[in-house]
A = this chain, B = another copy of it.
Amino acid sequence: MKIENPTSRDIADLAGVSQATVSRALRNSPQVRPETRARIQGIAKELNYFVNRNAAGLRTQHSNTIALLLFDETDGTDKKMNLFFWAMLDNITRAAAKLGYDVLVSLQQLTDDWHMEYQASHRADGLILLGYGDYAEYREKLDALAAAHTRFIIWGPIVKDQPGRSFGCDNESGGYQAANHLLALGRRRIAYIGRKRRGSPEHAARYDGYARALLEAGVECDDKLRVPADNSERLGYAAVKELLERGQPFDGLFASTDLIAIGAMRALADNGKTVPGDVSVVGFDDMPLAAHVTPALTTVQQNAEIAGTGLVANLVGLIEGRPIESRLMAPKLIVRDSCGGKARLMPAG
C-alpha cells in the first residue's frame, strides 16, 4: 500500500467514498458516520497521509500560523535578550502548538521593511512583536500594520494611543517590589541606577514603582541618589563610581537591569564596600548570570511561561475575532544573597 504523495482523493477511492467525505472524516465532522470515519482515518494513517496545508489554507483563507518577529537589541557583542527570549520562544511555540498554530520566526533588522508582508501573503494569521525596543521609532510601522488590518500583539508596556494590543510585564510593580524589599531590610538611602524617562517606558515604570514604595514608606525620594545609565555592566560600574566620588552615602541600590547591577556590585567591591554588608543590591530581569555572580543577585523576574502563553492566547483571540485588551503580568522578586537579611523576612526554620 504505497502511494507516493497521497491526496484525499486517493483515500476516497480506496475507501469507496467521495473525496468530500474524506475531508470531513479527517476533521472529525459529526456529519460522517463513526464507522466510515474510522475506516477513512485508518486508511489515511496507513498511507501516511497528511492534509496539504497550502490547499486547505487557500480554501479557508487562513494558515494556522503565527509569525514571531524578534528585534534583537544587539549592543556590539552582547545579546541582551538571550535567555528570557529563549524561554519565551519555547513557551510561545508550545502554547501555539496547543492551539493548533505553527510559529514562523524571523529575527529582523530594525531597518527592514518587515511585517507588512506576513499577513497579506497569508503566510501568517497574525504577528507577535518581541524585543521591540524604542517604541517611538516604530510608531509609523505600527500605524501601517493597523491600517492594513493586520492582527498583531506587542510584547511590552501599555503605551497610550499606540495602535494594537500589548502584553507585558508590570514594571511598576517590579520596581515597587524591589524597593519594598530593600526598605523591609531597613535600608533607607536607596540609590536608583537606570534609564529614567527617555525612550523607555519600561524603565520609567520601574522607577515609578521604586518611587511609590519610598513614598509609601515615608522615605524621601532624593534626586541625588538617582544616576542615569543604559543597560551595560560598564555603565553600572561608572554610575556607582560617580556616587562614591560624590561622597553620596547610600545603603541600598536598585538597578533597572541585572547587567547594571552586576557592574555596580563590581564597582562596590573595587571600592571596599561589601555587598550585602554595606549596600544591598537588587537587579531586574533575572538573567542567567544573575544566579552565578558573587554574591548571587536578588532580582525581579518575569515569568516566561505566563508571558509566552499570554501573548499567544491574546493573538489567537484577535485572530478568532474575540475582543482582547492589553494586559500586564506581575513580575516576581527572586531573593538571593545580594541583599542579606533573609532571616529578618522569614521566621527562623
Measured CB to CB, the residues of A under 8 A from B are 48-55, 57-58, 63, 65, 68, 72, 79, 82-83, 85-87, 89-90, 93-94, 97, 102-107, 116-117, 120-123, 148, 288-289, 292-293
Contacts and interface: CB of A to CB of B under 8 A. Distances in A.
A57 B58 CA distance: 9
Contact of A107 (B52, B53, B89, B102): B89
Contacts of A90: 72, 107
Given A50-B120, A58-B54, A289-B292, A89 B103 contact: no
A121 B52 contact: yes
A110 to B, nearest CB: 14
B103 A53 contact: no
A58 B52 contact: yes
Tally of this chain's copies: 2
A332 to B, nearest CB: 16
B105 A53 contact: no
Given A49-B120, A53-B54, A102-B104, 5 more contacts: A53-B121, A54-B63, A55-B58, A89-B105, A292-B292
A93 B121 contact: no
15 contacts: A50-B117, A53-B54, A54-B58, A54-B63, A68-B105, A79-B86, A82-B288, A89-B89, A93-B107, A94-B107, A102-B106, A102-B123, A104-B105, A105-B105, A288-B289
Nearest to A106: B93
A117 B87 CA distance: 25
Contact of A51 (B49, B65, B93, B121): B121
A79 B83 contact: yes
A149 to B, nearest CB: 8
A53 to B, nearest CB: 5
Given A54-B54, A121-B52, A122-B52, A86 B94 contact: no
A104 B104 contact: yes
A97 B55 CA distance: 24
Nearest to A294: B294
A82 to B, nearest CB: 6
Nearest to A62: B54
A1 B332 CA distance: 50
Nearest to A78: B288
Contacts of A123: 53, 102
A310 to B, nearest CB: 18
